[in-house]
């Protein structure tokens, strides 16, 4: 019977139904999954460290013999301590495991053992605390686990390192000869890449660290390449669509810009030029607009909207929350009223989930009849009842809050409208170009004049007296204050309780002479809107809130942001919250309250204190969280990146992108015999792209 990579893992020698379940939990269902289950690190066991040469604070691998084992209890701390004394020809060392009494069954005096761990000093002796270990019993164990570079896996439940290596080696021996390399020889040659079989052998059982590095390059490249192909396909399919040729320089646009009470920044003007150039062309615009919090993206989107409206088209402006939709509606409406555009009065509508049935029905009809030029709304815009008469532009704000599928639905309500996607979560430009390969990218990297950098400080809880006095000082100057609490789903009730307790304490005690408000996500939308409106109108001095504030609330009089338990927020989230202040011309502050001492929390909070620039913050966040968490794995297909890292392998990612574009330009439907295997592989990973590869 022919061996196939799709063979169920359960039928591999030594696995069976029980172990098969453990493998399935780790995402390994077939032989191919097993091959792409990569080691998390390697140990160089070609030579072990002699015990006599071990030094404190180093992490080392040793091979030794068990001389003594013993168990005792720590009555002071209430747990058991298992101790071994192990030795090689050069000396001996203690090894200690805490509260793992079951381990004593594994250790037999006289047995050979490999230990990996950190060397610490306890009283006057060196010891290894809770080292990883392997017992060497047989000749077979020795051939896979000694005298070579050894892979170390994050093993499925119930498997030891030895059994995992044994399974991997057996599968490679049995199935590798049947592997066909789906990456073209000419691509491998141009980029100096190993073939697939050699790469899989050397990623699991490297002949040398040099070959392991080459295998890592090849396997990372193929992940990036598969990731870039759909983007290249999408870019090509958009290029082929006939779009709308908008008039971008008519008097409606010019009078709006000249009537603005401020000058557009150089960055805004540059971005507008890029948008105008796109909208003038009879092709579909697909542009991502990146800009830090408060950089003026909304006014750019409004001007782009007028370009569409002056030609008789409608604009859909989708935002993630009702508060933000209402705020945009009020702000843009007031701008149009101030500028009293006589040539063509612009009708603006608002569509959100909380509107009653009668209001929604009227909105649906007005949109369908073309009586609304610009409709601002939430996910409600995606409803089936929303039908446009002549949709010419789609604007999507805070794009990361919507899934890829949701973003694609709105443009389908028109005949190839232009699309402008905005985000206040900036990422380094080179990385953005590569990860959003199907979009053209514009960046506003300049704040409007008069905006001062926000002073950010981290304090501990023992400085609360200073904090409360500082809050009173700001309020006495006529300013307003946000106090934000984390709201994590796992401890929602407790988090909400502490926010409510703080509200009561402020209102009845510490700040009883001031007006205090509380807003959180469990309130009805109308109630949230009512409280936010009161804060905007200056009727609340201190607003205690959860992260409903994260997106877009604009209160220029708020000058102080206090973030409680700041270590529980992500870096980009902290930066978004900080962006709620600093919107007026006076100095604003952000105070991070945290007693956390972990290295990760310190790194994150220090970055907030050090940097105001959103692009720099984004780089730090990427380093901390890695690309999958940063971009949202489901949205970007980054769950396919099991080995590649866009942040550390930028050059390789760019090469993979260039090769993907080259291939799609030469064979847009992947229909040649040479590309048939690649086509299968792509559709296996991304079945939704089949419609883009229909043979023309």
Which of the listed ranges 68-82, 114-128, 323-337 does the model predict with the highest average pLDDT? Answer: 114-128
- 455-611: CATH number: 3.40.50.300
- d(C-alpha 60, C-alpha 44), whole Å: 10
Exposure string for 161-178, b = 16+ CB within 10 A, e = fewer = bbebbbbbbebbeebbee
Predicted confidence at residue 490, as pLDDT, reads 52
This prediction has a pTM of 0.66
Q: How many CA atoms lie within 13 A of 269 on its CB side?
A: 9
- d(C-alpha 448, C-alpha 441), whole Å: 20
Confidence of residue 584 (pLDDT cuts 50, 70, 90): confident
Eight-state DSSP code of residue 510: I
Every domain of the chain with CATH number 3.40.50.300 lies at: 264-281+296-423, 455-611
Confidence of residue 695 (pLDDT cuts 50, 70, 90): very low
Q: Which two tokens stand for residue 42?
A: 């390697």
Grouping H, G, I as helix, E, B as strand and the rest as coil, residue 30 is strand
Q: Which two tokens stand for residue 158?
A: 């119930």
- d(C-alpha 650, C-alpha 509), whole Å: 54
**Residue labelled with tokens 């877009």:** 552
Q: From residue 500, give the alpha-carbon distance in Å to each of 512, 565, 567.
A: 15, 15, 20
Closest CA to 420 of 412, 432, 411: 411
> For residue 261, is pLDDT > 70?
yes
* DSSP sequence for 121-182: EETTEEEEES-EEEEE-SHHHHHHHSSSEEEE--PPTT--HHHHHHHHHHHHHHHGGG----
Q: Provide the β-strand partners of residue 8.
A: 30
Angle at which helices 266-280 and 297-309 cross, to 10°:
30
Q: Which two tokens stand for residue 144?
A: 């896979």
CA 279 to chain centre: 30
Better-scored residue on pLDDT, 217 or 639: 217
Better-scored residue on pLDDT, 292 or 40: 40
> For residue 635, is pLDDT > 50?
no
pLDDT tens digit string along 662-685? 998 888 888 888 888 888 888 887
CB 310 within 8 A of CB 344: yes
CB 597 within 8 A of CB 646: no
Instruction: Determine whether 465 is exposed, middle or buried from the number of CB atoms within 10 Å of its CB (0-12, 13-18, 19+).
Output: exposed
Instruction: Determine whether 75 is exposed, middle or buried from the number of CB atoms within 10 Å of its CB (0-12, 13-18, 19+).
Output: exposed
Percent of the chain having pLDDT more than 90?
39
CATH topology of domain 264-281+296-423: Rossmann fold (3.40.50)
Q: From residue 35, give the alpha-carbon distance in Å to each of 7, 171, 174, 178, 188.
A: 12, 8, 12, 13, 20
Predicted confidence at residue 381, as pLDDT, reads 92
Least confident of 225-239, 255-269, 329-343: 329-343
pLDDT tens digit string along 409-461? 888 898 889 999 998 777 776 677 666 777 888 888 887 777 778 999 999 98
Every domain of the chain with CATH number 2.40.50.140 lies at: 47-147
Least confident of 21-25, 471-475, 521-525, 539-543: 521-525
- d(C-alpha 415, C-alpha 405), whole Å: 18
- d(C-alpha 341, C-alpha 256), whole Å: 7
Least confident of 363-367, 527-531, 664-668: 527-531
* CATH class of the domain defined by 47-147: mainly beta
């Amino acid at each position: 019977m022919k061996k196939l990579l799709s063979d169920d893992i359960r039928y591999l020698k030594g696995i069976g139904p029980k172990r098969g379940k453990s493998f399935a939990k780790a995402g390994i269902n077939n032989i191919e999954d097993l091959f792409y289950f990569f080691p998390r690190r390697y140990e160089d066991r070609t030579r072990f460290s002699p015990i006599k040469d071990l030094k404190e604070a180093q992490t080392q691998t040793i091979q030794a013999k068990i001389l003594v084992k013993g168990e005792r209890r720590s009555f002071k701390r209430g747990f058991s301590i298992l101790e071994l004394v192990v030795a090689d020809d050069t000396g001996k060392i203690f090894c200690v495991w805490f509260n793992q009494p079951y381990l004593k069954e594994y250790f037999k005096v006289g047995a050979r053992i490999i230990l990996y761990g950190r060397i610490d000093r306890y009283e006057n002796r060196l010891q290894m605390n809770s080292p990883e270990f392997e017992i060497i019993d047989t000749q077979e164990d020795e051939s896979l686990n000694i005298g070579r570079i050894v892979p170390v896996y994050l093993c499925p439940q119930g498997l030891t390192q030895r059994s995992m290596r044994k399974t991997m080696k057996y599968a490679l021996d049995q199935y590798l000869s049947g592997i066909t390399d789906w990456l073209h020889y000419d691509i491998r040659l141009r980029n100096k890449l190993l073939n697939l079989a050699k790469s899989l052998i050397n990623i699991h059982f490297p002949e040398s660290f040099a070959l392991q590095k080459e295998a890592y390059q090849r396997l990372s490249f193929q992940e990036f390449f598969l990731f870039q192909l759909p983007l290249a396909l999408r870019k090509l399919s958009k290029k082929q669509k006939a779009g709308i040729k908008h008039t971008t320089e008519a008097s409606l646009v010019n009078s709006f810009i000249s009537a603005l009470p401020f000058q557009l920044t150089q960055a805004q003007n540059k971005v507008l030029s890029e948008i105008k150039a796109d909208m003038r062309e009879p092709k579909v615009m697909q542009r991502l607009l990146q800009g830090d919090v408060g950089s003026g993206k909304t006014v750019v989107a409004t001007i782009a909207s007028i370009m569409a409206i002056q030609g008789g088209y409608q604009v859909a402006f989708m935002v993630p929350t009702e508060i933000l939709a209402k705020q945009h509606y009020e702000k843009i409406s007031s701008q149009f009223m101030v500028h009293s555009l006589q040539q063509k009065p612009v009708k603006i509508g608002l569509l959100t989930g909380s509107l009653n049935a009668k209001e929604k029905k009227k909105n649906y009809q007005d949109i369908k009849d073309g009586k609304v030029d610009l409709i601002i709304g939430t996910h409600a815009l995606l409803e089936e009842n929303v039908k446009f008469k002549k949709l010419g532009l789609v604007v999507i704000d805070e794009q990361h809050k919507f899934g890829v599928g949701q973003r694609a639905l709105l443009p389908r309500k028109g005949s190839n409208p232009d699309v402008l996607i905005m985000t206040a979560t900036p990422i380094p430009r080179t990385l953005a170009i590569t990860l959003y390969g199907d979009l053209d990218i514009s960046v506003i990297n300049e704040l409007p004049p008069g905006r001062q950098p926000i002073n950010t400080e981290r304090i501990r809880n023992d400085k609360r007296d200073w904090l409360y006095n500082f809050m009173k000082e700001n309020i006495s100057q006529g300013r307003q204050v946000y106090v934000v609490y984390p709201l994590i789903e796992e401890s929602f009730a407790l988090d909400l309780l502490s926010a409510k307790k703080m509200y009561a304490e402020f209102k009845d005690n510490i700040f009883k002479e001031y007006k205090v408000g509380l807003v959180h996500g469990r309130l009805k939308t109308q109630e949230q809107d009512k409280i936010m409106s009161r804060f905007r109108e200056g009727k609340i001095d201190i607003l205690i809130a959860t992260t409903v504030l994260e997106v877009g609330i604009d209160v220029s009089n708020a000058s102080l942001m206090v973030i409680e338990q700041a270590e529980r927020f992500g870096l980009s989230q902290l930066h978004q919250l900080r962006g709620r202040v600093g919107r007026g011309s006076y100095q604003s502050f952000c105070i991070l309250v945290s007693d956390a001492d972990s290295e990760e929390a310190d790194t994150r909070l220090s970055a907030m204190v050090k940097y105001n620039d959103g692009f720099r913050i984004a780089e730090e966040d990427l380093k901390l969280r890695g690309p999958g968490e940063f971009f949202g794995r489901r949205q970007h297909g980054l769950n396919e990146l099991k080995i590649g890292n866009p942040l550390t392998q930028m050059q390789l990612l760019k090469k993979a992108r260039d090769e993907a574009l080259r291939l799609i330009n030469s064979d847009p439907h992947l229909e040649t015999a040479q590309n048939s295997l690649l086509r299968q592989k792509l559709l296996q990973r991304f079945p939704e792209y089949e419609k883009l590869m229909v043979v023309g």
